[in-house]
């Protein structure tokens, strides 16, 4: 056998094994250091996903082989997050959010001070920390995360649903939207935006216009659950017309004697009506609340769960918003007191 050829074959095999071993340890996610992530946030803000692992943790390695090796999921993380792998037993000194953290001991399996900060007394691996809003909002999950479990968390963080709801609430409605085929809901008829003025003349009611787009997952969750959930569906039917409007609609729409059309705005083709309905403060998803004359009462930005939305809609439906001396908090306090009195009776 040719000696050079044999050596080349052996070297190729070693390099191949090394490549697959590295890929197995890293997955398809492009991990960076904590230091690098903190530097990048200063210029381009994104949430951080922090994989907290140890060298001896079998489930940590399994998560790399499976969850973080899913091409679609890895691409989503690489695009929308700063992904960081953090060894909870590293001996390195790390500066995080302006504070310095060190290892607690020279012993091999001693936890790092930063791991204790994130995990507290429950040093369980793998753990995953999601960080956003200039380090002010953290969401910790512990244990192995398969694709279906991590997907709603990623969307919850990227699309800022954390600003208006807790994760468990969002996760429930996310699963009802995409996975739960037995989800029971109230039928709420939809009004086409083009027919809204005509419908309003026949049957005047306040109007909810949920503005979203095909790429907005929290908008899909809102459209599927926030108005049809059993806790709110009948109330929406009684007090509101409901419109679901695609912000990227290519239709030419005449609304209140103004013509609206699709045009590139900030390099994305949006319909100008989306900006008209939000007073040029478009975020996705958002909810435009209108009175019986189709005047804008308020625009609610970000995801709204049915539980969060119900008292807000009651505030508008009862016309309490017209009382300039009564804030929403005043309204909520009164409703809370009414509920407490009923319970006593």
Give DSSP secondary structure letters for 193-221: GGGHHHHHHHS--EEEEEEE-TT-HHHHH
Could you read off the pLDDT of 251-261 as tens digits, one per residue? 999 999 999 99
Q: What are the extents of the domains in the chain?
A: 24-158, 193-323
pLDDT band at 181 (very low <50, low <70, confident <90, very high): confident
**What's 190's DSSP letter?**
B
CATH 3.40.30.10 corresponds to the domain 193-323? yes
β-pair partners for 212: 246
Measured CA to CA, the distance from residue 92 to residue 155 in angstroms comes to 32
Contact 13/21 with Cβ under 8 angstroms? no
Enter the pTM of the model. 0.89
Q: What average pLDDT score do residues 60-82 get?
A: 98
- Residue identified by tokens 């939809």 is 190
CA gap 282, 287 in Å, rounded: 10
Mean pLDDT of 150-178: 97
Which value, in Å, is the radius of gyration of the alpha carbons in the chain? 26
For the cut 80, the answer to whether the pLDDT of residue 11 exceeds it is no
Does position 18 have pLDDT exceeding 50, yes or no?
no
Strand, coil or helix: 27: coil
Average pLDDT over every residue of 227-237: 96
Q: Which residues contact 322 (CB under 8 A, 6 or more apart)?
A: none
Instruction: Decide the pairing of beta strands 268-271 and 137-142.
Output: unpaired
24-158 and 193-323: identical CATH topology: yes
Angle CA 161–163–167, to nearest 5: 55
Q: Which residue has the higher pLDDT, 66 or 341?
A: 66
Q: Return the pLDDT at 333.
A: 87
**What percentage of the chain reaches a pLDDT higher than 70?**
90
Asked if residue 85 has pLDDT above 70, the reply is yes
Determine the Cα–Cα distance for residues 17 and 7; give it in Å rounded to an integer: 15
Q: In the predicted model, what is the mean pLDDT of residues 41-59?
A: 97
Task: Report the pLDDT value the prediction gives residue 271, as an integer from 0 to 100.
Answer: 97
Which pLDDT value is given to residue 344? 42
Q: What is the mean pLDDT of the chain?
A: 91
pLDDT score recorded for residue 175: 97
Domain 24-158 in CATH 3.30.70.890: no
Sign of CA dihedral 72, 60, 132, 81: negative
Residue 26's pLDDT band (boundaries 50, 70, 90)? confident
Q: Which helix (H) or strand (E) holds 289?
A: strand 286-290
* Residue 17 in this model has a pLDDT that exceeds 50: no
DSSP labels for 114-150? HHHHHHTT---SSEEEEEETTTTEEEEEES---HHHH
How much of the chain is helix, strand and coil, in % rounded to 5?
Answer: 45, 20, 35
How much is the pLDDT for 256? 96
Q: Are 258 and 252 in contact (CB under 8 A)?
A: no
Mean pLDDT of 236-245: 98
* Residue 340 pLDDT grade (very low, low, confident, very high; cuts 50, 70, 90): very low
Handedness of CA 124, 130, 133, 138 (dihedral sign): negative
Chain mean position to CA 212: 14
Q: Which of 91, 99, 97, 89 is nearest to 48 (CA)?
A: 97
Whether the per-residue pLDDT at 75 is higher than 70: the answer is yes
Which pLDDT score is estimated for 335? 78
């Amino acid at each position: 056998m040719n000696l050079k050829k044999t050596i080349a074959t052996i070297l190729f095999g070693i390099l191949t094994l090394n490549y697959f071993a590295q890929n197995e340890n890293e997955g398809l996610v492009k991990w960076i250091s904590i230091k690098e992530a903190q530097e990048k946030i200063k210029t381009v803000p994104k949430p951080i996903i922090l994989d907290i692992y140890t060298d001896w943790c079998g489930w940590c390695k399994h998560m790399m082989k499976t969850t973080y090796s899913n091409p679609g999921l890895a691409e989503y993380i690489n695009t929308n997050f700063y992904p960081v792998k953090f060894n909870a037993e590293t001996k390195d000194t790390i500066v995080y959010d302006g504070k310095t953290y060190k290892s607690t001991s020279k012993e091999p399996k001693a936890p790092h001070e930063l791991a204790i900060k994130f995990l507290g007394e429950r040093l369980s691996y793998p753990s995953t920390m999601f960080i956003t809003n200039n380090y002010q909002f953290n969401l910790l999950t512990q244990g192995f995360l398969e694709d279906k479990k991590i997907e709603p968390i990623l969307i919850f963080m990227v699309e800022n649903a954390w600003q208006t709801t807790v994760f468990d609430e969002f996760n429930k409605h996310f699963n009802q939207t995409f996975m739960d085929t037995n989800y029971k809901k109230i039928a709420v008829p939809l009004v086409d935006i083009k027919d809204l003025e005509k419908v309003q003349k026949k049957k005047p009611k306040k109007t909810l216009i949920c503005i979203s787009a095909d790429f907005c997952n929290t908008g899909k969750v809102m459209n599927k659950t926030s108005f049809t959930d059993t806790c709110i569906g009948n109330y929406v039917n009684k007090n509101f017309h409901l419109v679901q409007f695609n912000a990227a609609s290519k239709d030419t729409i005449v609304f209140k004697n103004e013509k609206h059309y699709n045009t590139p705005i900030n390099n994305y083709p949006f319909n100008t009506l989306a900006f008209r309905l939000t007073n040029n403060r478009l975020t996705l998803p958002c909810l435009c609340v209108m009175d019986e004359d189709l005047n804008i009462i308020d625009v609610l930005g970000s995801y709204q769960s049915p539980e969060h939305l119900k008292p807000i809609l009651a505030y508008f439906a009862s016309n309490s918003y017209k009382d300039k001396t009564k804030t929403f908090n005043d309204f909520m306090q009164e409703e809370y007191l009414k509920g407490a009195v009923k319970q006593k009776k």
